[in-house]
A = this chain, B = another copy of it.
Amino acid sequence: MAEKITKRDKDYSQWYLDIVQHAGLAENSDVRGCMVIKPHGFAIWENIQRALDRMFKDTGHVNAYFPLFIPKSFLTKEEEMAEGFAKECAVVTHYRLKTMAGKGVQVDPEAKLEEELIIRPTSETIIWNTYRNWIQSYRDLPLLINQWCNVVRWEMRTRLFLRTAEFLWQEGHTAHATQAEAEEETRKILEVYRSFAEDWMAMPVLTGPKSEGQKFPGAVYTLCIEAMMQDKRALQAGTSHFLGQNFAKAFDVKFQNQAGQLEHAWATSWGVSTRLVGGLIMTHSDDQGLVLPPRLAPIHAVIVPIFRKAEEKAAVCAAAQQLAAAIRSLPPDPWLNYEPWSIKVDDREQYQPGFKFNEWEVKGVPIRVELGPKDLASNACVLARRDLPGKEAKEMGVPLASAPERITTLLKEMQSKLVERARAFRDANTLEVNSYDDFKKKLEEPGGFLWAHWDGTRETENQISQETKATIRCIPFSRAKEPGKCMVTGKPSEGRVVFAKAY
């Protein structure tokens, strides 16, 4: 398998698709733009969901479910939203098929909907239409609701996980009695996303607002987490929107405040999607295949018993199962949200150890345990870490008795190492530029995140993106107050913003 994976420096795009294919993560379906998420890819998404869902609940949120369909008229109620989403929607116009003699199945022209239904591209409209009945008084607030679901945006150019017509995501929709509380929520969720990205995905992110040109249609402002992929392009990994009273006004959601006056509710919405799986792949993987941060790996360690003769097999397989059981019965670890360690024993007979080593390497299992008759004779095993090259990866003669502890220690080390490595990569590919000429040059070579002064206007932003394909990814919270001049117009700027080419 590994020999079929295109090298990153040869063709990064193809490398990505090769990883997705060979690691068994996803594939294109026969429905244009829609993907099939295969079991190994879906298991990663399940781990993402589990960790995030717990973080949402720990911050007081609950889950609910709203309809897939949105009446067409809802989309027009919030003006900016209508502009932003009306272009790329799947539209349901009929509700029945009928069998026509000799012609197969046809849409029944008599079953036309009075009002067309849109497959949700995001659910602000249907949810705020529902909230109208839920919110009467300040006592009903805040509403802190999240939904895990599928959404559809009719994208013309799709790429597995990164941009697909249908994708899976979570969308939080909260309602608050005051602006301050809604803004606090917007930031609180951004911090949840930042911490999830860095602590679970081992993917360092910049945090801060988007520019006006890049914000969510319908938001007052959008906060984002923004990551750098290995080709130095940016990936928007999660967004948290402060919606002001825009949707409350559009859907007439008013409550009686403590002073007895009617007021429109304040809103936030926020989401991350299966795009994160793409980000995970492009942050850590290498030319041999997938590399996964251990906290999100569907399998933490694979034990490969090595044997030639039948009499060897029984003994090494028994020892392998025993070791697996010992790891699984370690005390629950908060590092893994008290979930059990996931250990696989690969005792398939039809494949040679070399084939198995390669398969699990491509699939990104963090630790491989080799266990042969000689190891067993000395009550030991060999450990190999997925993230280190060649001999560095191996630990020989690890006593079986201490192997469970050693394996979990290595998993934690690997998790830290991956985020350090990714951070070092990002920092090494971050530059300050001071002139537009230099900007255009550096954007092509070496590329990366370019910190530059900008005059804050939409016009300049548009000009830069049209001329260079770079966009403002983030106005980082961490930026220094540094008076300067816009690299394009020379007008004053309060500080640098981050430009990059992006997915």
Residues of A bordering B, CB below 8 Å: 27, 29-31, 34-39, 42-43, 45-46, 62-73, 75-76, 82-83, 86-99, 104-105, 107, 116-119, 126, 129-130, 133, 139, 145, 149-150, 152, 154, 166, 168, 332, 350
Closest to A168 in B: B65
Closest to A89 in B: B97
Q: Are A75 and B89 in contact (CB under 8 A)?
A: no
Answer whether A34 and B75 are a contact pair too, CB < 8 Å, given A83-B99, A95-B89, A97-B91: no
Residues of B within 8 A of A45 (CB): 65
Q: Are B97 and A118 in contact (CB under 8 A)?
A: yes
Instruction: Report the bound CA distance from A133 to B92 in whole Å.
Output: 30
Q: Are B93 and A89 in contact (CB under 8 A)?
A: no
Answer whether A350 and B29 are a contact pair too, CB < 8 Å, given A39-B145, A105-B86: no
Q: Are A29 and B67 in contact (CB under 8 A)?
A: yes
Answer whether A30 and B68 are a contact pair too, CB < 8 Å, given A62-B43, A95-B90: no
Q: Are A65 and B91 in contact (CB under 8 A)?
A: no
- Given known contacts A30-B130, A86-B96, what 13 new A-B pairs fall within 8 Å (CB)? A27-B130, A31-B70, A31-B71, A39-B62, A43-B62, A45-B65, A69-B166, A76-B105, A86-B105, A88-B95, A91-B92, A93-B93, A97-B118
Answer whether A67 and B31 are a contact pair too, CB < 8 Å, given A39-B62, A145-B39: yes
Closest to A87 in B: B96
List 18 interface pairs A-B (beta carbons < 8 Å), by A numbering. A27-B130, A30-B126, A30-B130, A42-B62, A43-B63, A46-B63, A65-B168, A68-B166, A69-B90, A69-B166, A75-B97, A83-B99, A87-B96, A91-B93, A91-B94, A91-B96, A92-B119, A107-B116
Residues of B within 8 A of A93 (CB): 91-94, 107
Closest to A37 in B: B65
Closest to A143 in B: B39
A59 to chain B, nearest CB (A): 15
Closest to A61 in B: B39
Closest 3 CB pairs of A and B: A34-B67, A37-B65, A39-B62
Instruction: Report the bound CA distance from A97 to B62 in whole Å.
Output: 33
A184 to chain B, nearest CB (A): 21
Answer whether A36 and B66 are a contact pair too, CB < 8 Å, given A29-B130, A75-B97, A130-B29: yes
Q: Specify which of B38, B86, B139 is in contact with A64 (CB 8 Å cutoff).
A: B38
Q: Are A36 and B63 in contact (CB under 8 A)?
A: no
Residues of B within 8 A of A152 (CB): 68
Instruction: Report the bound CA distance from A118 to B42 in whole Å.
Output: 24
A387 to chain B, nearest CB (A): 25
Instruction: Report the bound CA distance from A150 to B150 in whole Å.
Output: 8
Instruction: Report the bound CA distance from A72 to B104 in whole Å.
Output: 10
Q: Are A82 and B69 in contact (CB under 8 A)?
A: no
Q: Are A86 and B99 in contact (CB under 8 A)?
A: yes
A144 to chain B, nearest CB (A): 9
A334 to chain B, nearest CB (A): 13
Instruction: Report the bound CA distance from A412 to B83 in whole Å.
Output: 55
Q: Are B67 and A36 in contact (CB under 8 A)?
A: yes
Residues of B within 8 A of A83 (CB): 99
Give the interface centre of A37, A70, A94, A95 by most chain B CB atoms within 10 Å: A95
Closest to A132 in B: B30
Q: Are A72 and B117 in contact (CB under 8 A)?
A: no
Instruction: Report the bound CA distance from A95 to B89 in whole Å.
Output: 5
Q: Are A126 and B166 in contact (CB under 8 A)?
A: no
A193 to chain B, nearest CB (A): 22
